[in-house]
Amino acid sequence: MITTKVSEKYRITLPPEARQKLHIEVGDFIEVRVTDTGIVLMPKRLIDSSQVWFWSKEWQQAEKEVEAEYKSGKYKTAKNVKEFLTELHHED
Protein backbone atom coordinates (compact mmCIF):
# COMPACT_ATOMS: atom_id res chain seq x y z
CA MET A 1 0.00 0.00 0.00
CA ILE A 2 1.24 3.47 -0.88
CA THR A 3 0.42 6.53 1.21
CA THR A 4 0.54 10.10 -0.05
CA LYS A 5 -0.29 13.42 1.62
CA VAL A 6 -2.93 15.95 0.61
CA SER A 7 -1.22 19.32 0.09
CA GLU A 8 -2.44 22.87 -0.56
CA LYS A 9 -5.46 23.15 -2.84
CA TYR A 10 -6.18 19.47 -2.01
CA ARG A 11 -3.51 18.19 -4.39
CA ILE A 12 -1.93 14.76 -4.10
CA THR A 13 1.26 13.46 -5.67
CA LEU A 14 1.13 10.06 -7.31
CA PRO A 15 4.11 8.08 -6.03
CA PRO A 16 6.70 6.96 -8.62
CA GLU A 17 5.83 3.26 -8.17
CA ALA A 18 2.19 3.92 -9.12
CA ARG A 19 3.07 6.23 -12.04
CA GLN A 20 5.57 3.77 -13.48
CA LYS A 21 3.39 0.68 -13.08
CA LEU A 22 0.40 2.40 -14.71
CA HIS A 23 2.46 4.37 -17.28
CA ILE A 24 1.03 7.70 -16.11
CA GLU A 25 2.71 10.75 -17.62
CA VAL A 26 2.39 14.49 -17.01
CA GLY A 27 -0.78 15.71 -18.73
CA ASP A 28 -2.58 12.35 -18.56
CA PHE A 29 -6.13 12.24 -17.25
CA ILE A 30 -7.18 10.48 -14.05
CA GLU A 31 -10.77 9.45 -13.35
CA VAL A 32 -11.80 10.07 -9.73
CA ARG A 33 -14.55 7.73 -8.52
CA VAL A 34 -16.05 8.17 -5.05
CA THR A 35 -17.35 4.95 -3.50
CA ASP A 36 -18.93 4.12 -0.15
CA THR A 37 -15.53 3.00 1.12
CA GLY A 38 -13.19 5.58 -0.39
CA ILE A 39 -11.80 7.12 -3.56
CA VAL A 40 -10.65 5.17 -6.61
CA LEU A 41 -8.24 6.80 -9.06
CA MET A 42 -8.10 5.28 -12.55
CA PRO A 43 -5.88 6.33 -15.48
CA LYS A 44 -8.12 7.50 -18.32
CA ARG A 45 -7.19 7.58 -21.98
CA LEU A 46 -9.30 10.04 -23.93
CA ILE A 47 -9.93 9.16 -27.57
CA ASP A 48 -10.38 11.80 -30.24
CA SER A 49 -13.96 11.55 -31.56
CA SER A 50 -12.66 11.05 -35.10
CA GLN A 51 -10.82 7.90 -33.93
CA VAL A 52 -13.57 6.23 -31.87
CA TRP A 53 -14.37 3.72 -34.65
CA PHE A 54 -10.86 2.27 -34.41
CA TRP A 55 -11.33 1.38 -30.74
CA SER A 56 -14.70 -0.38 -31.16
CA LYS A 57 -14.77 -4.06 -30.15
CA GLU A 58 -15.57 -5.10 -33.72
CA TRP A 59 -12.67 -3.17 -35.22
CA GLN A 60 -10.21 -4.39 -32.59
CA GLN A 61 -11.31 -7.99 -33.24
CA ALA A 62 -10.71 -7.48 -36.97
CA GLU A 63 -7.27 -5.99 -36.18
CA LYS A 64 -6.37 -9.13 -34.18
CA GLU A 65 -7.50 -11.38 -37.03
CA VAL A 66 -5.47 -9.45 -39.59
CA GLU A 67 -2.41 -9.50 -37.32
CA ALA A 68 -2.74 -13.28 -36.92
CA GLU A 69 -3.05 -13.79 -40.68
CA TYR A 70 -0.03 -11.57 -41.30
CA LYS A 71 2.07 -13.48 -38.76
CA SER A 72 1.08 -16.79 -40.36
CA GLY A 73 2.18 -15.56 -43.80
CA LYS A 74 -1.28 -15.15 -45.32
CA TYR A 75 -0.52 -12.06 -47.37
CA LYS A 76 0.72 -11.09 -50.82
CA THR A 77 3.06 -8.38 -52.00
CA ALA A 78 3.02 -6.32 -55.18
CA LYS A 79 5.87 -4.63 -57.02
CA ASN A 80 3.75 -1.64 -58.02
CA VAL A 81 0.23 -0.21 -57.95
CA LYS A 82 -0.76 -1.79 -61.27
CA GLU A 83 0.22 -5.26 -60.04
CA PHE A 84 -1.62 -4.63 -56.77
CA LEU A 85 -4.83 -3.57 -58.53
CA THR A 86 -4.67 -6.51 -60.95
CA GLU A 87 -4.30 -8.95 -58.05
CA LEU A 88 -7.07 -7.19 -56.11
CA HIS A 89 -9.53 -7.57 -59.00
CA HIS A 90 -8.71 -11.28 -59.41
CA GLU A 91 -9.42 -12.17 -55.75
CA ASP A 92 -12.53 -14.27 -55.02
Query: Tens digits of per-residue pLDDT, 20-56?
Result: 999 999 999 999 999 999 999 999 988 888 999 998 9
Q: 8: which residues sit within 8 A by CB, 6+ positions away? A: none
CB distance 30 to 24 below 8 Å: yes
Q: Which helix (H) or strand (E) holds 18?
A: helix 16-22
**8-44 carries CATH number 2.30.29:** no
| Domain ranges within the chain, ordered by starting residue | 8-44, 49-89
Query: Tens digits of per-residue pLDDT, 50-82?
Result: 999 998 999 999 999 999 999 999 998 999 999
Which is nearest to 78 in space by CA: 61, 64, 91?
91
Alpha-carbon span 20 to 24, nearest angstrom: 7
